[in-house]
Amino acid sequence: MSSTGPVKQARRALLWLLVVVVIATGILVAGVTAGKTDASPKLALDLEGGTQMILAPQVKGNESINQEQLEQAVEIIRQRVDGSGVSEAEITTQSGRNVVVSMPGVPSSETRELIRASADMEFRPVLIAGPFTATPEADRTPEKDIPKPEGDPKDASDTNWITPKLYKEFEAYDCAVELAKADRNEDDPAKPMISCDPGQGLKYILGPQEIPGDQIKDAYAGMVRGSQGAVTGQWAVNLEFNGAGTKTFSETTQRLVALQGSRNQFAILLDGTVLTAPTTNNVISDGRAQITGGFTEESAQALAQQLKYGALPISFDIQSEQQISATLGADQLRTGLLAGVIGLVLVFIYSLFQYRALGLVTILSLLVSGVLSYLALVLLGWGMNYRLSLAGVAGLIVAIGLIADSFIVYFERVRDELRDGRPLASAVDIGWGRAKRTILASKAVNLLAAAVLYLVAVGNVRGFAFTLGLTAIIDLIVVYGLTHPLLTMLARTRFFADGHRMSGLDPSLLGVEPLYKGAGQIRRFNPTAEGKRKPKASAEANRRMTIAERRAAQDNREEANE
């Protein structure tokens, strides 16, 4: 009756592990079938090759660029690249002037624009909207019919900003021509301007700047939720402002919400081009705004990244772009994988030699850990664009020994309990209680080291830290979901419970006198008597004794001889 609970819990744990593996496999198969992902992990720049872009800085007013500005630009470009989902990218400076960006694969047009875009971001109210192209001469408003300013502008939304000269320029403004110009005029933040919205095919006259881009605290894409909290299936971009931005945005939305038509809109510009011009539906006083309106997941994420990392003081032109081959190549990858296979085989051999049939539990646990690691890497590549570098492969190889260490700690705890004379089922339960504390402490140290290394390092070192932390989590899942439940069930079988010589739990190999000696004889727990009657342990058992155990045995022999 006492074994019913542990066995039932063991079966439940095995079932949950099976469910996790089946679900992960099902998601991967569905993704591969739909053509959304490959069945193998994505590889990083050092293993796959990719694209190298050399960016030349464009400083406003032809000013010289200093090293501090260049380092700031490199850091923000790195944030932009990482934020766009491209992992394992390399970003360096060249000749103290240019920035070299190397990334795996072929970057999309959105990624290119995200990298080269400057941080000349601003928020301006819309005064008037019109068609994307220039108005034909015959249809332009006669000068006598153009409204004249009636006084000084009261705020940024006041139409008195629109002078007859500005209105005539607006009608003649052709966005297709203006956006194609390499050199565009700088706009005065304190004055109105004309800008284009390529996404909507519109052009606007905008009032003076009200909020600069550096007052954005955070921006991220997410699903729109209805009034009841249910997801609507539409994508949105969520904005958070800092203290100054929150105050200004509250005042601005309070004004805009009462206006009609295009004057109700608030344009967000990057380098003078309108990214989006949402309408104002409510007064937003907490600095948290949501932009909606026909976004896809990709477009919402692209806009969020442009808004979030918009504080780049320098704009860049892509001076050159070329495809580069893998810096380490397939030979190094094969060598690394071969090293991993050799290490795995050696662990298998050691487990079978050291633990006999019990070593099969170690082998099965390692294989399941490998399957989970593979599924995790592929799914992370699909969902987060994670790419496996050679440093990441090194992390996986190191993890083999760390994972095997958990099993060894557990098995040795069980053997210690057997040496104390407990039956196997009890030894497994008590040994697990002692071993799991050691295992948890060990994995906590591994995760802490991986987290610190990931946060303070850059480039490929982060790939090593990531796989090291990932495998530590998977190790805990396998130990709790497979190793311990399986051993709990095996402990109730005759082969292991009776200490078969090939089970790895043979009492004679452990230096243990059986508790039940047959013919109704039970071993007595008398240290003095036990020292006299203790059978001679095998050579293997003597070899396994610690220094303290050898000294205790020597003391027992000396007492027995007195």
pLDDT digits (tens, 9 = 90+) for 285-302: 999 998 887 788 888 888
Query: CA 194, CA 171: separation in Å to the nearest integer?
Result: 10
Q: Indicate whether 189 and 306 sit together in one domain.
A: yes
- State the pLDDT at residue 444: 93
Whether 101 and 126 map to the same domain: the answer is no
**Tokens of residue 501, six digits:** 């010589």
- Tell me, what's the pLDDT at 537? 44
**Does 60 lie in the same domain as 154?**
no
Identify whether residues 339 and 484 lie together within a single domain: yes
Determine phi and psi for 389, rounding to 5 degrees: -100, 175
Contact 265, 125 (CB under 8 A): yes
E-only strand ranges, 347-488: none
Residue-wise over 32-50: b if at least 16 C-beta within 10 A, else e? eeeeebeeebbbbbbbbbb
**φ, ψ (nearest 5 deg) of residue 123:** -115, 125
Tokens at residue 200, please? 């909507």
Backbone angles phi, psi at 102, to 5 degrees: -120, 125
Helix (H, G, I), strand (E, B) or coil at 126: strand
pLDDT of residue 480: 95
Bridge partners (DSSP) of residue 220 are 238
- My answer on whether 531 and 490 are in the same domain is no
pTM, whole model, 2 decimals?
Answer: 0.61
**In this structure, is residue 91 part of a structural domain?**
yes
pLDDT < 50 stretches in the chain: 1-2, 514-538, 540
Task: Tell me, yes or no, whether 468 and 365 share the same domain.
Answer: yes
C-alpha closest to that of 328 among 390, 387, 377, 388 = 390
Same domain, 273 and 135: yes
Give, for 29, the enclosing helix (H) or strand (E): helix 4-33
Range(s) of the domain holding residue 539: 524-561
Decide if 18 is inside a domain: no
**Domain CATH for 465:** 1.20.1640.10
- 98 and 125 both lie in a single domain: no
Q: Is 321 part of any domain?
A: no
Is the same domain home to 300 and 368?
A: no
Supply the CATH number for residue 77's domain: 3.30.70.3220
Helices (H) and strands (E) in the chain, counts: 19, 15
Q: Which amino acid type is present at position 347?
A: V
- Do 54 and 197 fall within a single domain? no
Burial state string for 286-322 with b = 16 or more CB within 10 A and e = fewer than 16:
ebebebeeebeeebbbbbbbbbbbbbbbbbbeeeeee
Residue 96 counted as domain residue: yes
The residues, any chain, with a CB within 8 Å of residue 335's CB and separated by 6 or more, are none
Give me the CATH number covering residue 210. 3.30.1360.200
- Which distant-in-sequence residues (6+ apart) come within 8 Å of 257 by Cβ? 264, 280, 281, 282, 283
Residue 300 shares a structural domain with residue 204: yes
Bridge partners of 195? 204
User: Which pLDDT score is estimated for 527?
Assistant: 42
Q: Is residue 154 part of a domain?
A: yes
* Phi, psi torsion values for 352, nearest 5 degrees: -70, -40
Residue 34: CB partners within 8 Å, gap ≥ 6? none
Distance CA 429, CA 414 (A): 8
**23-67: pLDDT as tens digits:** 999 999 999 998 888 898 988 877 888 888 888 877 655 566 777
Structural domains of the chain, count: 4
| Residue 7 resides in a domain | no
* Same structural domain, 97 and 146: no
Instruction: Give the three-class secondary structure for 212.
Output: strand
**Does residue 11 form part of some domain?**
no
> Helix, strand, or coil here: 188?
coil
29, part of any domain: no
Q: What would you report as the CA-atom Rg of the chain, rounded to the nearest whole angstrom?
A: 34
